[in-house]
Structure 1
Amino acid sequence: MNKRIFLSAPHMSGNELKYIEKVFESNYIAPLGEYVNKFEDSIKDYTSCENALAVTSGTAAIHLALRVLGIGAGDDVLASTFTFIGSVNAILYQGANPVFIDSDKESWNLSPILLNKYLCECEKKPKALVITHLYGQCAEIEKIVDICRLHGVYLIEDAAESLGAIYKGKHTGTFGDFGIYSFNGNKILTTSGGGMLVSSNKDWIEKAKFYSTQAKEPFIHYEHLEYGYNYRMSNVLAAIGVGQMEVIEDRVLKKREIFEWYKEFLSDIEEITFMPELENSRGNRWLTALTFEKADYNKVMKALEEVNVESRPLWKPMHMQKLFENSKSYLDGTSEELFKKGLCVASSTTMTKDDVKMICEVIKKVL
């Protein structure tokens, strides 16, 4: 049996253990310490965001953003339907109602046309939009920003999958009122678990920091006027993040190279369509995503599993989930069609061109 090829395996830079050892020497392993600050600074330096807060997960970051923006029970919050549920769960934490907007074919991300139509037609104005940059590829973010501003809707960018993606020279996560990144085990940069909240508004980040540390008032004793959360990242995980950030551009370039290998080996297969990339953008190609016009992706998955290669269907749209059967949605069928035909193939940065060639040969045999 071949060695297991994972969808997106963690890949250490080599310095993570050295930084972890320094954390243990200092004995600051809790959600305090120099590496939390260093990790936040590295994200600020890389993305040119003004303020950053290291937290326990991307979902925690979205939750904090919604809380700071005053989203509460009964409010409507727009969201991409074609996404991972972590983008939406935080809306439920606040007692708000998710309203799902479909994708466009040009990016597979939330459609600005449908977004604008919904906002022009809806009777109840949503308070915010949580938009996902899917699989590391940029949404039409400038258009979406303009629409949100026109209608007075806060914008939270879920850039959990898209650290390193750039639209017209600007990093995803830095266009909206808030942006979030995820460092889960399979992301392009991983701290095993963790997230980052960013914003140009310093007061908002300070408020999020307050909520993330149990909303403790500035007294020598424990004084609380509001409730909060235990959401701050530990110094240990932040040390891993600092090591990972030293190679983030290498990881982006390798992910993009893997995508190009897939295109090269599958270019003669007419029924395969790869996830598009918008003009004037650079996605990080976190996962290479594609669709089959006729073939059953389940057969492709089974064939790949037989040679010990992991793959995964595209996200099942949120409006199709039983959990959200009573939620409002504004659809044109794009995300359902992508889910019906789509697959994510192995995209680990440790993969070689021969690995990709082998995977493509398996795919071709099924087709």
Structure 2
Amino acid sequence: MVDTAALSIPLSAPHLTGTESNRLQTTPADLWPEWVPAFEQALAQRVSSRFALATQSGTAALELALRALGIGPGDTVICPALTFAATANAIRSVGATPVFVGSESISWGLDPDALETALQREQQRPRAIVVVDLYGMPANWPALQAIADRYGLPLVADAAESLGSALHGQACGTLGLLNAVSFNLNKVITTYGGGALLTNAPQLAAKARVVANQGRQTEPPFSVIESGGNYRMGPLSAGLGLDQLPLLSARVQARRAIFERYFAALGQWPGLTFQPERLGAFSNRWLTAVRIDPVQTGITRDALIDRLRCEMVETRPVFMPLHRQPAFAGCNVYGSSETNRIANEGLCLPSGSALTDAQIERVIASVRCALAKNKRPES
């Protein structure tokens, strides 16, 4: 009997070495807590950030960033419409309200023109702007920073998907005043959950560390000086992070190589376009993302997903825009037209760094076969 599970090609499976348990076996248990500060130091050095605070998740890191800025009930925060729900959930978790802004066609990140419109039209001045490097692609940070500076607003990076990416040589995860990264199961490197808050601002780092420690001072007299919570990463996750972090460059190289394979094989297919990488950007290509024009290809994105599922190839539609989801009904949105087009056409292909050559070729063959069956005749 054929094991169909063994034949399936996952979207982005965790890539482990098989030696992760060695650290546990060779280190006395009473020394495990030391892995947390060691991982924080290693991460900060890796991305050239002054401070790093390891957290339970990337969402927790983003929430912690907002709390460090003093954002709370009654405030509004600019948020991309095209992003995972965690970005807006973190805003809601501190009691603030998201204001959604649409995407530009290049990076698929925040559209500077739509952002300017939102800031001009919103009656209440937002407290911050959250920028997402979607699918690992750096957003148009220079243009966004210029707008933020004019309005005196901080940029907070949701860099959950972009660890290992860079813009003009500067690492993603350091482009904002505060930056949240993720080590979830499907990320470039994983701690089986977990995240981190990165910043170069000493006062914000100190406040975040207190908030993450139940609002309790980290030194004597250990007074509870403000409202806080338990945001900290556990030592087992940190230990895994210490094993994974040295592999970051290799994992990014592998994902970029997978993207290049897909692009070489499919990049000239009419109606199929890959997420662009603007001049100066270096994407980790966490997920290879493409747009399927149903008119030119003769097939919708959703129909292609169904075809590939029959071939046991796991894909994912681009995130449904948050302004179209019931949980965020009533939130203001600006610049939704391009966002909706990307969301309706966008598809993520299997991109895990552990994919074999045979699996990559199977994905390519499956996509080609599905497109060929619907290829429009030459006029």
Tell me the alpha carbon deviations over residues 48-97 of structure 1, each in whole angstroms, 9 at most, x when there is no partner.
01110001011111111111101111111001110001111111111111
Residue 246 of structure 1 aligns to a residue whose secondary structure is helix
Tell me the alpha carbon deviations over residues 96-146 of structure 1, each in whole angstroms, 9 at most, x when there is no partner.
110000000011111112112322333321110111100000100121112
Residue 124 of structure 2 aligns to a residue whose secondary structure is coil
Structure 2 residue aligned with 1:27, among 30, 42, 53? 30
Alpha-carbon distance in 2 for matches of 1:361, 1:341: 20
Cα displacement (A) at 1:305: 1.8
Structure 2 residue aligned with 1:329, among 333, 336, 342? 333
Match of 2:48 in 1: 48
1:317 aligns with 2:287: no
Residue 62 of structure 2 aligns to a residue whose secondary structure is helix
Cα displacement (A) at 1:147: 1.2
Partners of 2:267 and 2:273 within 8 A in 1 = no
**Residue type of the partner of 1:207?**
K
Residue 7 of structure 2 aligns to a residue whose secondary structure is coil
Counterparts of 1:100-111 in structure 2, within 5 Å, are 100-111=100-111
Cα displacement (A) at 1:220: 7.2
**Residue type of the partner of 2:20?**
E
Match of 2:169 in 1: 169
Gaps of 5+ in 2: 372-379
Alpha-carbon distance in 1 for matches of 2:96, 2:73: 5
Counterparts of 1:156-195 in structure 2, within 5 Å, are 156-195=156-195
Match of 2:255 in 1: 255
Structure 2 residue aligned with 1:301, among 305, 325, 344? 305
Is the alpha carbon distance of 1:332 and 1:93 closer, same or farther for their aligned partners in structure 2, counting shifts above 3 Å? closer
Counterparts of 1:56-75 in structure 2, within 5 Å, are 56-75=56-75
Alpha-carbon distance in 1 for matches of 2:45, 2:222: 34
Is the alpha carbon distance of 1:125 and 1:359 closer, same or farther for their aligned partners in structure 2, counting shifts above 3 Å? same
Alpha-carbon distance in 1 for matches of 2:218, 2:172: 34
1:357 aligns with 2:361: yes
**Greater Cα shift, 312-321 or 213-222:** 213-222
Partners of 2:56 and 2:195 within 8 A in 1 = yes
Partners of 1:7 and 1:345 within 8 A in 2 = yes
Alpha-carbon distance in 2 for matches of 1:220, 1:51: 21
Cα displacement (A) at 1:219: 7.8
Alpha-carbon distance in 1 for matches of 2:352, 2:23: 24
Structure 2 residue aligned with 1:342, among 337, 346, 368? 346
Partners of 2:189 and 2:244 within 8 A in 1 = yes
Alpha-carbon distance in 2 for matches of 1:100, 1:277: 23
Give the structure-2-normalised TM-score: 0.92
Match of 2:21 in 1: 17
Q: How many residues get paired?
A: 363
Alpha-carbon distance in 2 for matches of 1:198, 1:105: 28
**Residue type of the partner of 1:273?**
T
Cα displacement (A) at 1:350: 1.1
Alpha-carbon distance in 1 for matches of 2:175, 2:145: 7
**Greater Cα shift, 6-15 or 323-332:** 6-15
Match of 2:288 in 1: 288
**Residue type of the partner of 2:331?**
S
Cα displacement (A) at 1:223: 4.6
Residue 27 of structure 1 aligns to a residue whose secondary structure is helix
Alpha-carbon distance in 1 for matches of 2:194, 2:326: 28
Counterparts of 1:195-206 in structure 2, within 5 Å, are 195-206=195-206
Cα displacement (A) at 1:156: 0.6
Match of 1:119 in 2: 119
What is the Cα-based RMSD across aligned positions, in Å? 1.7
Alpha-carbon distance in 2 for matches of 1:21, 1:214: 31
Match of 1:5 in 2: 9
Give the structure-1-normalised TM-score: 0.95
1:139 aligns with 2:139: yes
Partners of 1:299 and 1:366 within 8 A in 2 = no
Residue 203 of structure 2 aligns to a residue whose secondary structure is helix
Is the alpha carbon distance of 1:218 and 1:331 closer, same or farther for their aligned partners in structure 2, counting shifts above 3 Å? closer
Alpha-carbon distance in 2 for matches of 1:85, 1:336: 16
**Residue type of the partner of 1:194?**
G
1:245 aligns with 2:227: no
Cα displacement (A) at 1:284: 0.3
Tell me the alpha carbon deviations over residues 195-251 of structure 1, each in whole angstroms, 9 at most, x when there is no partner.
000111122112111111112246878753432111100111001001111110000
Partners of 1:65 and 1:156 within 8 A in 2 = yes
Partners of 1:261 and 1:353 within 8 A in 2 = no
**Greater Cα shift, 10-19 or 317-326:** 10-19
Cα displacement (A) at 1:340: 0.8
Alpha-carbon distance in 2 for matches of 1:50, 1:221: 26
Match of 1:266 in 2: 266
Alpha-carbon distance in 2 for matches of 1:150, 1:14: 50
Partners of 2:290 and 2:346 within 8 A in 1 = yes
Partners of 2:210 and 2:218 within 8 A in 1 = no
**Residue type of the partner of 1:331?**
G
Is the alpha carbon distance of 1:109 and 1:140 closer, same or farther for their aligned partners in structure 2, counting shifts above 3 Å? same
Alpha-carbon distance in 1 for matches of 2:67, 2:115: 23
Alpha-carbon distance in 1 for matches of 2:24, 2:10: 25
